[in-house]
Amino acid sequence: IENSALMHNPSKVSIPFSILEIDVKNDDAILKALNIELASGDRIKLHGELKNITSIVPEISANYERMSSNLNIYSKKLRFSDFLDLFDNVDAEKKVKNSNRNLALKKVVKDFYNKYQPELSINLDEFIFNKLIINNFNTGFYFENEDLLYLENTAFDFYKGKVTLDAHLDITDPHETGFSIGFTTDNLDLEKLLISFDYFDIPSIKEADKIDGKVSVDARIEGELLDSTGIISNSLKGTIGFDLEEMQIKGFDPIIKIGNIIFKKKRFEDIRFGSIENILYVANNTVEFPLMEVQSTALDFFVTGHLGFDDVPTSLWTAIPLSNFKNRDIDNIPKKTEYMEAGKKIYIEAKSKDKDIDKTQYKLHLSEKKYFKERDSLSEYRIMMKENRLLRRKYKRDTRADEKLQKADSIIIN
């Protein structure tokens, strides 16, 4: 059959195809080709096997076993917008186009499962989602039931980086979708990633001369999204572990302006960072930061606290060792130190107000006592201060002992 269409009756969605070629023997079939033409001129190709095919027409079927299928889907280039266009709902009374398409897509997917019991293998040479471009996309796709979909052993290339993921989707609700995703990345290009997500719509990042690096991630996230608007933020929970290597920030105006209050402007014009590692915890509209050390050619500091979104205020504390105020070699990244070894510090609190969380206020502190007080953890603060004093004394003793040994070795050699 050439230049026809498949009509999905419940949703009135019509999917045009250029070629349908199928061989039937008894109650089984080989789908040799089903080519679906897309608006951009690209194409989706399907082939595979179908068992018990007469079961989809009960009036003529004496076989009560449900149909099952094993299909392979391939496209040289697939734009997600082209794919969604296949599911435009023709019901004129519906007003929101994206809601129509998502609702129609869910109906088709559920009906597809109930009729065909499919297991799918999907291979895309290039997949384009908005500005995100990925290559060599491969996944296994199957159903637990009509409401639960699984993507397993999924992998794709993002420029020179590799991404693997598993995902579970719950499409029980016609207007919301539940999801859980586990994914890992290896050395993704940070600059290309920012471009792909349009710099997260932050003007100052767009205007920077350069933000680059290699990022590896191991994340486990679950939540829900409204099909018409996007992710429901307070439903998100999980962990995001990351390792950022070879990061460089050049010509980033906000950092230059803040740094120039105390230091020379040149120190912050071109900043290179040492390895930055941490595990972030996401829940209840917050992203929690355990204590994280950042070493760079411009400044060394420690940061902890949480970022809030929607109605949750942000509260971040940055500890800046006083050693930063000494003369500095801005051409070389210093080695990492432990929090205690970094010596005395000053603290900058970044906090948004409950009534206006988009505005952040900055306060200078000479100790971190307030940080613990806000979290009802003053007892921990007192214990930490006592341990810190003991550790500082030990560190100074060990340092002096090492210096004496080095002097003694030098005298013996001479």
User: What band does 7 get if pLDDT is binned at 50, 70 and 90?
Assistant: confident
pLDDT at 231 over 60: yes
Output phi, psi for 121, to 5 deg.
-120, 120
pLDDT at 414 over 60: no
Share above pLDDT 70 across residues of the chain, in percent, rounded to a whole number: 83
User: What band does 407 get if pLDDT is binned at 50, 70 and 90?
Assistant: low
pLDDT tens across 298-313, in order? 999 999 888 887 788 8
pLDDT tens across 93-121, in order? 444 455 566 777 788 888 888 888 889 99
pLDDT at 404 over 80: no
pLDDT at 271 over 50: yes
User: What band does 48 get if pLDDT is binned at 50, 70 and 90?
Assistant: very high
Res 109: pLDDT: 85
Q: Are 209 and 250 in contact (CB under 8 A)?
A: yes
Can you give the pTM of this predicted structure? Answer: 0.74
6 or 401, higher pLDDT: 6
Res 383: pLDDT: 62
pLDDT at 129 over 90: no
3-class SS letters over the chain: CEEEEEEECCCCEEEEEEEEEEEEECCEEEEEEEEEECCCCCEEEEEEEEECHHHHCHHHCCCCCCCEEEEEEEECCEEHHHHHHCCCCCCCCCCCHHHHHHHHHHHHHHHHHHHHCEEEEEEEEEEEECCEEEEEEEEEEEECCCCEEEEEEEEEEECCEEEEEEEEEECCCCCEEEEEEEEEEEEEEHHHHHHHCHHHHCHHHHCCCEEEEEEEEEEEEEEEEECCCEECHHHCEEEEEEEEEEEEEECCHHHHHHHCCCCCHHHHCEEEECCEEEEEEEECCEEEEEEEEECECCCCEEEEEEEECCCCCCEEEEEEEHHHHCCCCCCCCCCCCCCCCCCCEEEEEEEECCCCCCCEEEEEECCCHHHHHHCCCHHHHHHHHHHHHHHHHHHHHHHHHHHHHHHHHHHHHC
Res 381: pLDDT: 53
pLDDT at 88 over 70: no
CA-to-CA distance for 216 and 183, rounded, in angstroms?
10
Segment 10-25 shows an average pLDDT of 86
Segment 323-330 shows an average pLDDT of 87
